[in-house]
A and B are shown apart, each in its own frame.
Chain A
Amino acid sequence: MPPSYHGLGWVKAGIFLLALLPLLNLINAGLRDNLGANPIEKITHVTGYWTLSFLLIGLSATPLRRLSGWFWPIRLRRMLGLFAFFYACLHFLSYLVLDQFFDWPAIIEDINKRPYITVGFSAFLLLIPLALTSNDYLTRKIGGKNWRRLHSLVYPIAIAGVIHFAWLVKKDLATPLIFAGILTVLLIVRRINTRIL
């Protein structure tokens, strides 16, 4: 059942709270000294995992709308995208502050020499203009066509995010491949539907 326009506010508030849960979990575990032997690694991994998850959840809004005919998934898309950006910021900050503690030479070397960091960092930079232009004012100012062109960057960003994950794991590709599989399905569904419609 698609929620009514009025009901959507509640759905949005509910999803907003749900989307904060991974962060609250981390804070709670941190306060109870429950982040394991390597808390910094844990924080980096969890925030990275949720960045990718919210990117994929956000990307499923359009296919869901096309397949179901409901419009409401589109109304959640901006919030989901902003949560992806929110977790991406936390992910980047945990690398910058907790992992490297502003060791700029080491950070520059990482970005230059390690492909997974090059790709991940680029994806993060590309997310910034999307987050900045997600408000109503700039959306209107930029205009539908240009805005859509700019925001189609989300596809290379999501692909880069999955590659970042796949390249960083030492050997076990199972989880990155699940993300890659979901992303592939989402992109294919979108493509098929564009043709039909």
Chain B
Amino acid sequence: MNKPPLTGIPASDITPKALFDQRRRFIQLAGGVSAALLSAGLFAGQKLSATSSSSYGLTDTPTPLKDITRYNNFYEFGTDKESPAKLADTLKTRPWTISVEGEVLKPQTLDIDQLMKLAPMEERIYRLRCVEAWSMVVPWLGFSLAELIKQVQPTASAKYVEFVSLHDPEQMPGQRSPVLEWPYREGLRIDEAMHPLTLLTFGLYGELLPKQNGAPVRIVIPWKYGFKSAKAIVKIRFVKEQPQTSWMQAGPNEYGFYANVNPAVDHPRWSQAKERRIGDFLKRPTLPFNGYAEQVASLYSGMDLNKNF
């Protein structure tokens, strides 16, 4: 008797067992290959999700991922904006350690994966304003740098924090040219570093940071020009004196230590009054402290921002 099967599926639609097994093997193989890629850290776009909601959201529309990842100032991989996306492949982001040292009670060397577990991961949609008068909106993933600072317990003489990026011309071909003094160094005053907006950043758009965006860990300070936000950080030092930064060495009259976004203080090359948001045709007015004045302006009360630019 030729009864239809109980499932109601005609016999012709049922996959013969041999073919079924073959597919299973293929899927297992494919799964195995991707798992291998993932564990080797070769797989681009590893997921990273927020484990905590953030109170620092923003209603601005984020800039498309392809613009965020193909228009980068990252001189370690060349001085034009397309080079980092093309050349950053040579950077090895695992294993990676960050040494936290200087004026702290508990200096330590942290493995990147250990560091990422230090605090709940938050998504923060921040404006990014470049000193070259363009801007973006980026959904970063990370947690406040303050979380790490609390762990290492700075001493009373820790007045500033210095960030040092990786120096390895083998991995960072742009460092073969003396265009800046390597390694890239940036710095913050301790109260700026402690500010909850200052983000220790590991990802963007729900994934681990692409290498051209500063993997495996960078800093993001949304009220300052982009160059303050050091990438591929290997060392965080707590110091007594204001540290010298790479850009201050390159052009002291152009790049100050504070580098707060300020439409009233002109840069010798670019008017800072307006900016072009990537994707827009018309420029928009630049906001004091990049729109974060309410949160951060009090850090600078009493300071002459024309001198401390």
- Which stretch from A13-21, A35-43, A81-89 is at the chain B interface? A35-43
The count of A-to-B residue pairs whose CB atoms sit within 8 angstroms is 51
Please report which residues of chain A, range 118-145, place their CB below 8 angstroms from some CB of chain B when the two chains form the complex: none
**CB-based nearest A residue for B274:** A106
A110 and B269 contacting across the interface, CB-CB below 8 Å:
no
A106's partner among B132, B268, B271 (CB-CB below 8 A) is B271
B70 and A37 contacting across the interface, CB-CB below 8 Å:
yes
Separation of A106 and B282 alpha carbons in the complex (Å):
13
A114 and B282 contacting across the interface, CB-CB below 8 Å:
no
| A106-B271, A110-B271 as given contacts; A171 in contact with B180, CB under 8 Å | yes
Chain B residues contacting A98 (CB-CB under 8 Å) are 281
Q: Interface residue count for B (Cβ, 8 Å)?
A: 27
- CB A48 to nearest CB in B, in angstroms, measures 14
Tell whether B257 is near chain A: CB-to-CB under 8 Å.
Answer: no
| A170-B269, A171-B79, A172-B179 as given contacts; A38 in contact with B276, CB under 8 Å | yes
**CB-based nearest B residue for A167:** B269
Bitwise interface map of B from 267 to 309 toward A, beta carbon under 8 Å scored 1, else 0: 0110101101011011100000000000000000000000000
A171's partner among B75, B81, B266, B268 (CB-CB below 8 A) is B75
**CB-based nearest A residue for B67:** A37
**CB-based nearest A residue for B132:** A170
B250 and A171 contacting across the interface, CB-CB below 8 Å:
yes
Chain B residues contacting A110 (CB-CB under 8 Å) are 271
Chain B residues contacting A40 (CB-CB under 8 Å) are 276, 281
Tell whether B71 is near chain A: CB-to-CB under 8 Å.
Answer: yes
Q: Interface residue count for A (Cβ, 8 Å)?
A: 19
Tell whether A165 is near chain B: CB-to-CB under 8 Å.
Answer: no
A38 and B134 contacting across the interface, CB-CB below 8 Å:
yes
A116 and B269 contacting across the interface, CB-CB below 8 Å:
yes
B179 and A113 contacting across the interface, CB-CB below 8 Å:
no
B271 and A36 contacting across the interface, CB-CB below 8 Å:
no
Separation of A36 and B279 alpha carbons in the complex (Å):
10
Tell whether B89 is near chain A: CB-to-CB under 8 Å.
Answer: no
Tell whether B82 is near chain A: CB-to-CB under 8 Å.
Answer: yes
Which residues of chain A have a CB within 8 Å of any CB of chain B?
A: 36-38, 40-41, 98, 101, 103, 106, 109-110, 113-114, 116, 168, 170-172, 174
19 additional A-B pairs beyond A37-B66, A40-B276, A116-B269, beta carbons within 8 Å, are A37-B81, A37-B278, A38-B71, A38-B276, A38-B278, A41-B134, A101-B282, A103-B283, A106-B274, A113-B271, A114-B268, A114-B271, A170-B79, A171-B75, A171-B79, A172-B75, A172-B79, A172-B179, A174-B79
